[in-house]
């Protein structure tokens, strides 16, 4: 069983909530805690607490972390609908009063080689943990993160050169990728190959499961926001690698973050190197991932 901490900016795109739901319904994972980051970490923590309540898993610690970028020099983007479709007006939801960074450091350092960090938002909390306690890089089992874009996959010509989680805090990303910790990078090259549609949303509704009904509601709001009838499962793919690593093809590389003072900067440049510490995902079996995700959410056989 993989012991994991998910670090999330849940609330804008639906994929964070789907990823957390996948983790909650996967017996291969022991969710040691969920930490929140970026924009309004306390609101995001309340959202996670509501998801845990709906799934009957209220014993898992939820902790709010940092709202702003590491150097507080980047504008914060939020869609404006965070919490809609999940939180009720005036609903009382509590979460752990400890700080997310303290929890990450304490949990990793007390369990050397046992804890995998799964950051699926900007890397601010992870970078702050590494700055405060550099030994986290040696004691963590692995950092499996959603972020970046290498443009090395077969769809590279169509890729943008920067990705949201990295460009929100490229200084933090530089700290994490430069830490020497073992990293798996799940970038846009692979995640944009994994789509779900209105068809999957209807299946969630038909299950009549309380958590799935909320996911379907939030998905509808995201479809309306992006004016599309499909979306991409960036974060569920990232979580799924702790269930089945064979879903992706990877190559060991070194990743540098190139950035400057301007907005929307932070290119992830992957190169071959003798001291490479990053498994860069280059391709994915998208159909198999969607089958796995839906089977776990619907609590069905994945075949």
Nearest CA-CA partner of 291 in 165, 196, 182, 173 = 196
Comparing 113-117, 118-122, 227-231, which segment has the lowest mean pLDDT?
227-231
Mean local confidence (pLDDT), 103-125: 98
Q: Is the pLDDT of residue 302 over 80?
A: no
Q: Which one of 99, 164, 234, 261 is the catalytic residue? A: 234
What domains are there in the chain, each with its CATH number?
2-298 (3.90.245.10)
Q: Is the pLDDT of residue 146 over 80?
A: yes
Strands (DSSP E) found in 51-159: 62-64, 115-119, 142-146
pLDDT in tens, 181-199: 999 999 999 999 999 999 9
pLDDT at residue 152, as a whole number: 82
Q: Is the pLDDT of residue 90 over 80?
A: yes
pLDDT at residue 300, as a whole number: 80
Mean local confidence (pLDDT), 133-142: 98
Average pLDDT, the chain: 95
Mean local confidence (pLDDT), 84-112: 95
Its pTM stands at 0.96
Distance (Å, rounded) from C-alpha 140 to C-alpha 138?
6
For 265, other C-beta atoms within 10 Å of its C-beta total 16
- Percentage, residues of the chain above pLDDT 90: 90
**Category of 160 on φ-ψ map: left (φ > 0), alpha (ψ -120 to 50) or beta:** beta
Task: Give, in order, the Cα–Cα distances in Å from 123 to each of 78, 222, 276.
Answer: 16, 23, 20
User: Do 42 and 71 meet the contact criterion of CB atoms below 8 Å apart?
Assistant: no
Nearest CA-CA partner of 17 in 235, 193, 292, 240 = 235
Mean local confidence (pLDDT), 122-131: 98
Q: Is the pLDDT of residue 4 over 60?
A: yes
User: Do 39 and 51 meet the contact criterion of CB atoms below 8 Å apart?
Assistant: no
pLDDT at residue 65, as a whole number: 98
pLDDT at residue 166, as a whole number: 97
Catalytic residue status for 234: yes
pLDDT at residue 264, as a whole number: 87
pLDDT at residue 159, as a whole number: 79
Q: Is the pLDDT of residue 303 over 60?
A: no
Paired residues of 268 in beta bridges: 257
pLDDT at residue 161, as a whole number: 87
């Amino acid at each position: 069983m993989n012991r994991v901490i998910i670090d999330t900016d849940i609330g804008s795109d639906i994929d964070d909530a789907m990823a957390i739901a996948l983790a909650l319904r996967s017996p291969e994972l022991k969710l040691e805690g969920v930490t929140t980051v970026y924009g309004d970490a306390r609101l995001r923590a309340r959202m996670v607490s509501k998801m845990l309540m709906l799934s009957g898993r209220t014993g898992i610690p939820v902790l709010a972390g940092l709202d702003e970028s590491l150097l507080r020099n980047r504008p914060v983007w939020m869609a404006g609908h965070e919490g809609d479709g999940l939180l009720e007006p005036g609903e009382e939801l509590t979460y752990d009063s400890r700080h997310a960074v303290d929890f990450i450091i304490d949990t990793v350092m007390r369990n050397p080689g046992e804890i995998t960090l799964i950051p699926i938002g900007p890397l601010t909390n992870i970078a702050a943990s590494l700055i405060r306690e550099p030994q986290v890089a040696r004691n963590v089992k692995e950092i499996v993160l959603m972020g970046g874009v290498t443009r090395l996959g077969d769809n590279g010509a169509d890729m943008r050169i920067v990705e949201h989680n990295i460009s929100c805090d490229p200084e933090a990303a530089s700290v994490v990728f430069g830490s020497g910790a073992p990293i798996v990078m799940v970038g846009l090259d692979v995640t944009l190959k994994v789509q779900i549609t209105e068809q999957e949303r209807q299946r969630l509704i038909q299950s009549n499961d309380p958590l799935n009904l909320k996911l379907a509601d939030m998905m509808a709001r995201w479809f309306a926001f992006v004016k599309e009838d499909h979306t991409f499962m960036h974060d569920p793919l990232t979580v799924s690698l702790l269930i089945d690593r064979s879903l992706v093809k990877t190559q060991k590389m070194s990743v540098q973050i190139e950035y400057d003072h301007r907005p929307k900067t932070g290119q992830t440049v992957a190169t071959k190197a003798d001291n490479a510490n990053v498994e860069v995902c280059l391709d994915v079996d998208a159909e198999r991932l969607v089958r796995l995700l839906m089977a776990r959410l619907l609590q069905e056989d994945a075949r």
